[in-house]
């Protein structure tokens, strides 16, 4: 009997919980889900930015699942824009599915946008794992593209950046938390992929390199691929090389890169890169036998060394550090002024790249 008495009291306590007024849980049909966010500079206006939100429109039939609408607003700040955008739509704006943030090229080239960049991680409902990318020519154009193969709004960008769909060495994706990490951390700088909007497709094959406030350098597709090799994040790729009159293409299966910063006393500091490439021959315009492969390996090593070094020097001249040499230097030195030291060292450091290429065979035929 005693336990039953106890349970009655608990019952009372529990039912009191339901008396409390809970408010504000909105049903899913009263919410509008933002799938991607675009930030442009406003034209012909006193306001600074043009913020566009791309909403997925749920439809009853399965025939048109990729319908969307884009609503834009000019404002001086992100939060202002969102508040005004709320008055333009009938439902509650929900950011929890916003998976892509597109900053237009104009925005990233000007400095002083930290407020916008920080707005995203500050908001609790924007995912830390949202992708950040640069939109070309404008962010709005990128949002407007509707590829034929796309099944859900913005899904094409998700698949391309997430590498769930196509895998290519020309894309270096960047997540929001990583972008913020690189904006703050001394010794490593952000890299953002550039999405170029064309009529019905996207082209994502170059990246923009940032310093701590704005984009400094634009890398061409081939340079992007090289940078990706140096990050050793991408394995499936192709390397083209010419030896004499023959041009061959190597299909790589494995690319590994590691580096070490050497600061010998009394001598000039240098960074030694060791890159190993393993792959097989995929295409050639003349006959290549298996015996000749070592010659092509040598040629490939030579041309890759040059390309890597050129890229590294280009990055160094622009005074950006996307590979994180600075943080590597800081992490290997115990003194407190290692960052000041590194800032003196970096502009005059030299790069030595040693590439090892291994071509396993010439495919199914010689």
Partner 1 sequence: MNRYYLYLILLNMLINVIMFVPKILIEYRYNGAVMGTLIAIPIGFSLNVLFTKAITKFPEKGFPEIFARSRKRWIINLLFGIISFAAFTAGLISLLGFVDILRRFVNPEMSFMYLLSVFLAGILLITKLSTERVMYLLEIVLFLNTPLILFIIFKAFTSDYLVWDSILEVGTHLFTKPSLKAIAAASYIFAGYTNLIIFNRIIKGKIKGWNFIMVFFLGLFNLFTTFFIPIGFHGSDGAQEYLYPWISTSDSLRLVYSPIERVIFLFLIFYMGITLMSVSVHWHLSYELIKGTYKESKKKDWAVLAVFACISVACALFFHTLLLNKITVHWMLSRFGLEIIVVGLFYIWARRQKT
Among 1, 3, 4, 10, binds partner 1 (CB under 8 A): 10
Position 242 contacts partner 1 (CB under 8 A): no
Q: Which of 333, 343, 352, 358 binds partner 1 (CB under 8 A)?
A: 333
Q: Which of 186, 314, 352, 358 binds partner 1 (CB under 8 A)?
A: 186
* Contact status: 110 vs partner 1 (CB under 8 A): no
| Least CB distance to partner 1 at residue 32 (A) | 16
Does 331 bind partner 1 (CB under 8 A)? Our answer is yes
Spatial CA neighbour of 35 closest among 183, 150, 148: 150
Ordered DSSP codes for 246-278: EEEEEEEEEEEEEEEEE--TTS--EEEEEEEEE
DSSP 18-76: HHS----PPPGGGEEEEEEEEEEE-SSSSSSEEEEEEEE---SSSS-TT-EEEEEEEES
Site for partner 1 (CB under 8 A): which residue of 65, 115, 162, 269?
Answer: 162
- Residue 188 binds partner 1 (CB under 8 A): yes
Measured distance CA(176)–CA(123) in Å, rounded? 12
Give backbone dihedrals phi and psi of 183, rounded to 5 degrees, phi first.
-70, -30
Look at residues 307, 247, 257 and name the one whose alpha carbon lies nearest to residue 278.
Answer: 257
Least separation, in Å, of the C-beta of 330 and partner 1? 5
**By CB under 8 A, which span of 41-49, 56-64, 122-130, 148-156 interacts with partner 1?**
122-130
Our finding on whether 137 is near partner 1 (CB under 8 A) is no
**Residue located via tokens 């404008």:** 138
When binding is defined by CB under 8 A, the residue of 3, 4, 22, 27 that contacts partner 1 is: 22
* CA proximity to 136, closest of 193, 204, 197: 197
Distance of alpha carbon 2 from the chain centroid:
64
Question: For partner 1, which residue of 71, 270, 327, 352 counts as binding (CB under 8 A)?
Answer: 327
Among 1, 3, 4, 24, binds partner 1 (CB under 8 A): 24
Strands (E), the chain: 31-41, 49-56, 68-75, 92-94, 100-104, 131-136, 191-197, 202-210, 215-219, 237-243, 246-262, 270-284, 350-359
Q: Check binding of 115 to partner 1 (CB under 8 A).
A: no
Nearer to partner 1, 233 or 343 (CB): 233
The distance of closest approach from Cβ of residue 334 to partner 1 in the complex, given in angstroms and rounded to an integer, is 5
Indicate whether 13 belongs to the interface with partner 1 (CB under 8 A).
yes
- Rounded-to-integer distance, Cα 185 and Cα 177, Å: 12
Backbone Cα Rg of the chain: 26
Q: Is 241 in the site for partner 1 (CB under 8 A)?
A: no
First-to-final CA distance of the chain = 90
Smallest separation, CB 25 to partner 1 (Å): 6
Q: 198 to 217, contacts with partner 1 by CB under 8 A? A: none
184 binds partner 1 (CB under 8 A): yes
Pairing of strands 92-94, 246-262: unpaired
User: Would you tell me which residues interact with partner 1 (CB under 8 A)?
Assistant: 10, 13-14, 16-17, 20-26, 121, 124-125, 127-129, 162, 164, 175, 177-178, 180-186, 188, 233, 324, 327-328, 330-334, 338
């Amino acid at each position: 009997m005693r336990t039953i008495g106890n349970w009655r009291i608990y019952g009372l306590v529990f039912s009191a919980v339901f008396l409390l007024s809970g408010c504000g849980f909105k049903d899913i049909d009263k919410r509008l889900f933002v799938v991607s966010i675009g930030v442009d500079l406003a034209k012909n206006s006193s306001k600074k930015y043009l913020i566009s939100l791309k909403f997925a429109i749920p439809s009853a039939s399965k025939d048109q699942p990729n319908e969307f609408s884009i609503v834009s607003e000019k404002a001086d700040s992100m939060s202002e824009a969102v508040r005004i955008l709320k008055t333009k739509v009938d439902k509650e704006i929900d950011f929890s599915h916003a998976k892509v943030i597109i900053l237009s090229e104009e925005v990233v080239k000007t400095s002083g946008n930290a407020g916008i960049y920080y707005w995203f991680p500050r908001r609790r409902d924007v995912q830390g794992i949202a992708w950040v990318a640069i939109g070309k020519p404008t962010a709005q154009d990128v949002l407007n593209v509707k590829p034929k193969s796309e099944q859900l709004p913005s899904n094409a960008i998700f698949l391309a950046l997430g590498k769930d769909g196509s895998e290519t060495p020309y894309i270096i994706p960047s997540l929001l938390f990583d972008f913020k990490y690189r904006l703050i951390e001394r010794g490593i700088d952000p890299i953002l992929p550039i999405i170029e909007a064309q009529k019905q497709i996207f082209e994502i094959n170059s990246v923009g390199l940032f310093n701590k406030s704005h984009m400094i350098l634009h890398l061409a597709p081939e340079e992007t691929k090289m940078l990706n090799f140096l990050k050793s994040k991408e394995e499936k790729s192709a390397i083209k090389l010419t030896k004499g009159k023959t041009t061959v293409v190597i299909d790589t299966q494995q690319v590994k890169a590691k580096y070490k910063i050497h600061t010998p006393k009394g001598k000039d500091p240098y960074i030694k890169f060791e890159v190993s490439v393993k792959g097989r021959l995929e295409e050639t315009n003349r006959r290549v036998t298996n015996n000749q492969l070592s010659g092509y390996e040598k040629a490939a090593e030579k041309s890759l060394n040059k390309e890597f070094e050129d890229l590294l020097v280009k990055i160094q001249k622009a005074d950006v550090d996307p590979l994180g040499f600075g943080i590597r230097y800081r992490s290997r030195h115990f003194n407190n002024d290692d960052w000041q030291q590194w800032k003196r060292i970096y502009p005059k450091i030299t790069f030595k790249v040693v590439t090892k290429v291994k071509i396993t065979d010439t495919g199914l035929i010689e």
